[in-house]
Each structure stands twice: as structure tokens, then as C-alpha cells.
Structure 1
Amino acid sequence: MVREVSKSTDIIYPDSDGQPMADNTKQFRWIVVVKENLELLFADNPDIFVAGDLLWYPVEGNNRIRRAPDAMVVFGRPKGDRGSYRQWEEDNIAPQVVFEILSPGNRFSEMVQKQAFYNHYGVEEYYVYDPDEADLTGMIRNQGMLEPIEEMQGWVSPRLGIRFQLGEGTLNIFTPTGDPFLGFIELDRRRRDAEAERDRERQRASLAEEERDRERQRASLAEEERDRERQRAEAAEAQLQAMEQRLRELGLNEPPHPPSE
């Protein structure tokens, strides 16, 4: 891992704490689901930074005070790659929302320490999900302290606008528009389905345009035929007038004179 040095203090702020991102596949899958769907949710907002398993250093000059939330969201900071989140270099803005996904390896004392850290350093919303037990707990800042959310079923995050719904042995998370958080495979399938539908729509549009072209060609041919018919009628009329003129010249079309009395 890259090791970065603060130029002002020459203190090293490591980019890694040496701990694995996850202890098992289920925990890892949930971390990815939460982090990636949050990325998608705020993809169009350049001033919302989302990260997963990124070390957060809240205090300049102390590299021992740090945590790496499984997922965190920072409003008011630009997107972009970072080796760590050093708060004093980020307009001193603390992550407002953090998520932790439990694994069997998590100790009670560790979770207590994390809660104390997030409470002390200004996190506004703190969510902990245990995928083995399908159990979700949350805390929200009230009068300067993180306090437990009494009812998580149907809870809507004030900051994120997402809704939590505990179902049959799992957690469902919905965006403000009601779309569910999805795993990578399902997201990829939906992406491919959307691309296929766009291809079909382009084909339908192309066929419709071809039909419009044919209709324009038919209309053009019909107009050309009407022009030719007008030309034939005009030619016939001109020929008839010429014949009448010739007859008049020969006196053959003069009406007979009435008999003399």
C-alpha cells in the first residue's frame, strides 16, 4: 500500500490499517451492494463523495485516531480518488453517514469503540447491518449525540432519502424513487436489458424512419405522376386549341350562314 506523508507535520498517514475489507463473502457482498448503490444514487452530484473501506483521519497530527467505515457518504466534498480521508484537507467536513456490515469476527468491544468514534467525530447517521441475522440497527444525531432509532422498519434516511425494509431473512433498501438496491450481477443484467431495449428502440425508430422514407417516396412518385398527368392534359389542350385554330384558318369550323330572304 502507498504511504502518504503530511507535508506540514511529516507524520505518515497510512492508506491501510492492515485489516481485510471483509471476513467472508456475505459481508463483502453487502459492503459492495451498499457502497456501489450509493455511488449510483449520487452519480450526478459532483459534490457528494462515497467511499468504502477508506481510512478516515479526523485529527491532523494524530495518525492513531482513525476508522475505516465499510461505507461512508460525505456531502459537500468532490468526487475523486483518495488514499485516505484526511478531514483537515476536506474543509474539515466529517462523513455524515456511515455503514458497518457485521461479520462473525466483529467483537462487541470493537463495535462499541466504533460507535464512540462516530459519535465523537460528528457522524449524523450510523447504520449497522448483520446479514446473518437480518438485523438492522441505526442511530441518528440528536442534540449533539447519536441516539438509537427506535423503529428501523420503513425508516427513511434524512440525509440519503433511502428507505430500509426488513423482509424475509434479508434487508431491502430502496432509493427515493422506489428502486431497490441491487447486487452487481442484477445491476449488470438490468444494464444489459436496458441496452438491449435501447437497441430494439433504435431498430424500431430505424424501421419507422425507413417506412417514412418509403411513404415520402410514394408521395413523391404520386406527385410526379400528377405532374405528368397535368402535362399530358395541358399538351392535349394545347393540341386541341391548335386544331381549332387551324380549322378557323381554313374556314371549316365557321357556322353556316342563314339563307337569304
Structure 2
Amino acid sequence: MVSFLDVDEDVLFPDSDEQPMADNTEQYEWIVKIKENLEIIFINNPQVFIAGDLLWYPLKSTLVAPVAPDVMVAFGRPKGKRGSYRQWREENIPPQVVFEILSPNNTKAEMTRKLEFYNIYGVEEYYLYNPKKLRFQGWQRETKKLTEIIPINNWISPRLGIRFVVDSSGLEIYRPDGQKFLTSIELDNQVQQERQRAETEKLKADKQKLKADKQKRRADRLAQRLRELGVNLEEE
């Protein structure tokens, strides 16, 4: 008879639930934008693990079905590659912050289950955005329970330090330094603009140096000519 302990852990706790990462392009873009901007914020902190659509197993038990938050952040866990987040391998540290981006295929029952899951297994902050209805919600752990954050507009995440702004056009997220979360294309445009600005400044500086060098050579030639004419430039 094969016992639970004899079965390969990868068989009991697979890395994939065979579900797509996103149901549409808008949901995917939001997942990537949040995940990658958080990576930028915590790039110099090796003990902040950030992942998108990664299965989270809170217990080493097949009785508890895992969930895959659209974005998860685990403080106190090293960066690195993982096929799934098996909490017993992570010093039993749960992700403290999770994000979900709602798609038309997400049912109310599914999202209720996720909220209950995050409530039970130790999430400190949970954020849910519906890009179609432009609705943003958040929950923060108070004592032992996730409680909805009201009001949510201009809320600053205690863990992440980021600020959420909600208006008639939807959700904007701002980094602790005040910069807005940008898409990869917007980030690339920003880099290109900065590079172009730096090149323009360099060309301007080079031009000014050439002009100064030319003026110096002219002054040197004039001084040499005056000396040849017997003018003592040292005399007042």
C-alpha cells in the first residue's frame, strides 16, 4: 500500500492548474503592470518575492485546494524561480499582499472563495480591481480578519508604500517616490526620452566645449602675435 509520504510531492502538488494566466488582454496588461512595477520598487531588496499567477499551497495537504493570485508579494522570502509557492518550503510565510484583476469569466462564487482563502491563510492586504466597471476594492487585516478599506481612494498600502487613486477614468497606482505605475511600453518610452535628453545635453556640452576651445586657440594666437610685436602682456 502506497502512503501519502511515498508519493512524489510534485505529483500531489503540481505547479499548474491548467488555467490561463488571463482571460483577456486588459486583464493580462494589468497583471504585468502591477507585477513589474513592484519588481522595480523592490529591486534592491533580495528578501521580497513577487510573482504573477503562481499557485499558492498554504498547507501540505491535498484537502486544501491552492489558489493562484494574479499578483502576490511575500516579504521575508528570497527572490528566485519557483514553479509554485509551497508555503512549507517558505518558512511557513504566506504572501502578505495579493492582487486580483477581475475578468468577465470570474464568478461571484469564485471571488468569494478567494476572499475567504486569503482571510483564512494570513494575507494582510488584498486588492481587487474590475477594469471593465472601473471598480477598485481593498481589504486589510485587522486583528484576525480582513476588513474592507473604506474609503479606498488615495489609500497607501502599509506593506508596499504605494498609493491608489480612483476616479471616473479608473485606477492609477503611484510608487513611493510619486511616479505613476507604467506599462512596459510607457517605461520604454520614458527610457528612450531620458536617453534622448541625455544625448541632447551631451551634444550641447560638446558644442560649448568646442566653442570654448576655439576661443582659447584664438586668444593664444593673438597673444603669440602680440609677443612677436614686442608687447609684454605681463605689464599692467
Residues 22 and 216 of structure 1, relative CA distance in 2, 3 Å threshold? same
Counterpart of 1:139 in structure 2 is: 139
Counterpart of 1:253 in structure 2 is: none
Cα contact 1:9–1:61 (8 A) shared by 2: no
Residues 49 and 208 of structure 1, relative CA distance in 2, 3 Å threshold? farther
Residues 208 and 172 of structure 1, relative CA distance in 2, 3 Å threshold? same
Counterpart of 1:168 in structure 2 is: 168
Tell me the distance in 1 between the aligned counterparts of 2:159 and 2:15: 27
Residues 45 and 58 of structure 1, relative CA distance in 2, 3 Å threshold? same
Shift of 1:80: 2.1
Q: What SS class does the counterpart of residue 138 from structure 2 fall into?
A: strand
Cα contact 1:99–1:127 (8 A) shared by 2: yes
Shift of 1:44: 2.7
Cα contact 1:34–1:181 (8 A) shared by 2: yes
Cα contact 1:50–1:72 (8 A) shared by 2: yes
Deviations 1:110-153 (A, max 9, x none): 11111111111111100000111111111001112111112111
Which residue identity lines up with residue 121 of structure 1 in the other structure? Y
**2:19 is aligned with 1:19:** yes
Shift of 1:215: 4.5
Tell me the distance in 2 between the aligned counterparts of 1:204 and 1:102: 49
Shift of 1:223: 5.6
Shift of 1:64: 5.0
Counterpart of 1:206 in structure 2 is: 206
* Superposition CA RMSD, Å: 2.5
Which residue identity lines up with residue 140 of structure 1 in the other structure? Q
Between 1:214-223 and 1:159-168, the stretch displaced more is 214-223
Tell me the distance in 1 between the aligned counterparts of 2:60 and 2:225: 86
Shift of 1:212: 4.0
Tell me the distance in 2 between the aligned counterparts of 1:124 and 1:179: 24
Q: What SS class does the counterpart of residue 157 from structure 2 fall into?
A: coil
Which residue identity lines up with residue 10 of structure 1 in the other structure? D
Tell me the distance in 2 between the aligned counterparts of 1:8 and 1:81: 26
**2:126 is aligned with 1:126:** yes
Number of matched residues?
226
Cα contact 1:49–1:77 (8 A) shared by 2: yes
Per the normalisation by structure 2, the TM-score is 0.85
Q: Which runs of 5+ in 2 are unaligned?
A: none
Residues 218 and 21 of structure 1, relative CA distance in 2, 3 Å threshold? same
Counterpart of 2:8 in structure 1 is: 10
Tell me the distance in 2 between the aligned counterparts of 1:114 and 1:215: 73
Which residue identity lines up with residue 11 of structure 1 in the other structure? E
Q: What SS class does the counterpart of residue 14 from structure 1 fall into?
A: coil
Q: Percent identical across equivalent pairs? A: 48
Tell me the distance in 1 between the aligned counterparts of 2:47 and 2:217: 53
Deviations 1:15-74 (A, max 9, x none): 211001111122112112211221222223222221111112222354853211101112
Tell me the distance in 2 between the aligned counterparts of 1:63 and 1:191: 48
Cα contact 1:11–1:63 (8 A) shared by 2: no
**2:55 is aligned with 1:55:** yes
Q: Which runs of 5+ in 1 are unaligned?
A: 1-6, 235-261
Residues 8 and 213 of structure 1, relative CA distance in 2, 3 Å threshold? farther
Which residue identity lines up with residue 140 of structure 2 in the other structure? I
Q: Rg bigger for which structure?
A: 1
Tell me the distance in 1 between the aligned counterparts of 2:78 and 2:6: 23
Q: What SS class does the counterpart of residue 156 from structure 2 fall into?
A: coil
Per the normalisation by structure 1, the TM-score is 0.77
